[in-house]
Amino acid sequence: MTASLPSRAGIGLRAPHYRAVLDDSPELGWIEVHSENFFDGGAPLAMLQTLAERYPLSLHGVGLGLGSFDPPDAEHLARLKALVDATRPAAVSEHLCLNHAGGRYANDLLPLPYTAAMLDAVAGHVARAQDALGRRLLLENLSSYLAYPANEMGEADFLAELVRRTGCGVLLDVNNLYVNQRNLHVDVAAFLAALPADAIGEIHLAGFSERDGLLIDTHSQPVHAPVWALYEQVLARFGPRPTLIEWDIDIPPLSTLVAEAARADACLEAVR
Amino acid sequence: MNDSPEARWQAALIAAIEGRADDGFDARGLAVYRNNYRVGLADTLAYVYPVVKALVGDDFFAGLAREYVGRTPSRSGDLHRYGDAFGDFLAGFEPARALPYLADTARLEWLVHRAYYAPDAAPLAPDAFAALAEADWPRLRFALAPGVAVFSSPYPVGRLWLYHQPGAPADWRLEPDAGGDTVRVARRAGRVEVGVPAPADAAWLAALAAGDTLEAATDAALDIDAGFDLEAALVGLLRDGLIARLLVP
């Protein structure tokens, strides 16, 4: 157990590499896993507990859907709480996304309306989740492919206000920001300026793919050059932060992920 | 249900992604989410049901998955809970009728999936039986470990499942009159094990799993095979860590 993640690079650990990381303990600053893959215990949890003794651990949830108008599912929250208690991670994060309405789930990271009424609802959900977990959550910005037509503010303003109201932190996904800049013409400079520097607890890097002229956040590629450039800009503004390499589709050999993490470590070193 | 514009937009977006409605969302963006939805749930089914997929082939499975996903919304933020009714769907789906064992194969695979993700039970204290009075024994019942399941089918689905695991003989055959299986599913040391116990052992375990007393379960086993060995069966259950708690009357 570690009090907080180190400002170094880590990797998102997925099933194909569980065995290799257990056997070889590669040099990594920290690891992150998807919380839902370790719910309820059993063999996956036992393995995660072993890993948590060797690396600072981050739990990254994809299923709570705190940006839904309906409150988060109490059972899902209780299962997350049990996992947090069993692994005592250095960080716990969720996405600022919609994933359910009226009891139906999209199991995706959907955009939400950025309005004052939505902010009231989401701040309540975040406070409730943090109370249940007994700790601070980091909330991640999204890649979006469409937007609510009557937004009253931008995603970064919404996040900043959530930080102010609930004390949560921000997980800044630089690839998502780049994808939104290209697809939705989000103003990157204004986005970064709106975020409170103290709240940035973690950074994500990943690769996108392109379909029908849209950039899709597929986590299926090496980090692209313009995303590395934006990452350096982010570090220049916020200083070194724990940084994750995420890869979820067409997962390459572990050595490729470790090399990408080393590149992020070099960027972090340059701003220390 | 909240009737604010934000809540209505969210419900409409999820309905549009599922394909129930198409309320004027940006077509290109909606296509991305619809694709994520269909591919994500179909991939989940392929992950949970590898034996069904092997039995019908990739293309037919893709069609089954498309049909199931179209009929069955996701009800949890935990994707590991999706697909529980796939067996029932197959039982009623006309194009799958030619393979009558398919539905029970799927039902068995769901039990395997649930066993893998079942919570851990604290192991039974070694002296738990020592504390019993002799009079407690006949009416003793067991709470089995989470994930333990006994499943009976008129088709040989236990053998079918085993023949689709790594290391199975390449030249396996099942005759049309191969008969049914009662299958034991349990997780041991992190691995899900599927076994086809002898009929008396299967009946004994099925009765215990259903909450019957040890005496009633043993009578059921002895009815099938007068040579049923209760002590060996109990030792096996203990050795495999499948008893979570003793329920003393």
Domain residue spans of chain B = 1-99, 120-249
A76/B190 Cβ within 8 A: no
pLDDT at A215 over 70: yes
pLDDT in tens, B214-225: 999 999 999 999
pLDDT at A143 over 50: yes
pLDDT band at A2 (very low <50, low <70, confident <90, very high): low
Q: How many CB atoms lie within 10 A of CB A270?
A: 11
Domain-wise residue ranges, chain A: 9-270
Mean pLDDT score of chain B, rounded to an integer?
93
pLDDT at B126 over 80: no
pLDDT band at B177 (very low <50, low <70, confident <90, very high): confident
pLDDT band at A169 (very low <50, low <70, confident <90, very high): very high
Q: Does B47 touch chain A (CB under 8 A)?
A: no
Q: Does B148 touch chain A (CB under 8 A)?
A: no
Question: In B, which residues are within 8 Å of A100 by CB distance?
Answer: 14, 77
Over range A47-75, report the average pLDDT.
Answer: 97
- Which residue did the predictor score with more confidence, B69 or B240? B69
pLDDT band at B140 (very low <50, low <70, confident <90, very high): very high
Q: At what angle do helices A155-166 and A116-133 cross, to 10 degrees?
A: 50
Q: Does B24 touch chain A (CB under 8 A)?
A: no
User: What percentage of chain A has pLDDT greater than the value 90?
Assistant: 95
Residue-level pLDDT at B121: 81
pLDDT in tens, A253-268: 999 999 999 999 999 9
Q: DSSP for chain B?
A: ---SHHHHHHHHHHHHHHTS---S--HHHHHHHHHHHHHHHHHHHHHH-HHHHHHH-HHHHHHHHHHHHHH--B--S-GGGTTTTHHHHHHH-GGGTT-TTHHHHHHHHHHHHHHHHPPP-PPPPTTTTTT--GGGTTT-EEEEPTT-EEEEESS-HHHHHHHTSTT--TT----TT---EEEEEEEETTEEEEE---HHHHHHHHHHHTT--HHHHHHHHHHH-TT--HHHHHHHHHHTT-EEEEE--
A79/B10 Cβ within 8 A: no
B33/A145 Cβ within 8 A: yes
Residue-level pLDDT at A1: 45
Q: How many CB atoms lie within 10 A of CB A119?
A: 20
Residue-level pLDDT at B21: 84
pLDDT at B103 over 90: yes
Beta strands B149-153 and B181-188 are: antiparallel
pLDDT in tens, B150-159: 999 999 999 9
Beta strands B191-195 and B181-188 are: antiparallel
pLDDT band at A50 (very low <50, low <70, confident <90, very high): very high
Residue-level pLDDT at B99: 94
Secondary-structure class of domain A9-270 per CATH: alpha beta
